[in-house]
Amino acid sequence: MKIDGKRAVISANQNKVFQFMSDFNNYEKLMPEQIVNWQSDKDTCSFTIKGMADLKLKFARKEASTLLELVPEGKTPVKFSLLINLEPDTLNEQKTVVNVHVDADLNPMLAMIAKRPFENLANTISEELHKVFEKK
């Protein structure tokens, strides 16, 4: 199952957004309200999705200023990756276009259940990231 979140234009250059997104300590303010018990360091985070599961994430890939891939660490109920693509705004290089994608390996029944929470996660990250950089 592939989910494309809403595209967001961030009021900061690509390197600044990449640096922010390269540290899990910055992710707590980007999460949906269903995320509780947040703990993080620079390279990993763990949290609980209310009423569902405990998860731990790590960076699987960081491609300088363009891509971050987050994957579950340890035993998880769902195998997925969260891809965050960053590209310069073609009209203003001091802005960055962010696209958040979820790629989950789910059977059709689980896909029906998980689709909305994954969409919410992808969209919330984009929306909250936009808000963080509008305040700066």
**Could you tell me what percentage of the chain is helix, strand and coil, using 3-state DSSP and rounding each to the nearest 5?**
30, 40, 30
Q: Is residue 33 part of a domain?
A: no
* Interval 55-84: pLDDT, tens: 999 999 999 999 999 999 988 878 899 999
CATH number at residue 101: 3.30.530.20
The share of the chain scoring above pLDDT 90, in percent, equals 75
The token pair that represents 83 in the structure block: 């891809």
Task: Judge whether 119 lies within some domain.
Answer: yes
Domain of 123 in residue numbering reads as: 2-23+59-135
Into how many domains does the chain fold? Answer: 1
Q: Could you report how far apart the first and last alpha carbons of the chain are, in Å? A: 35
Q: Does the residue 108 lie in any domain? A: yes
Res. 52: pLDDT tops 80: no
Q: Which amino acid is at 102?
A: V
CA distance 59 to 48: 18
How many CB atoms lie under 10 A from the CB of residue 132?
Answer: 17
pTM of the model: 0.92
* Residue 28 located in a structural domain: no
In a domain, 52, yes or no: no
Examine residue 36 and state whether it is found in any structural domain, yes or no. no
- Which of 4-18, 81-95, 105-119 has the weakest average pLDDT? 105-119
Which residues pair with residue 84 across a beta bridge? 68, 100
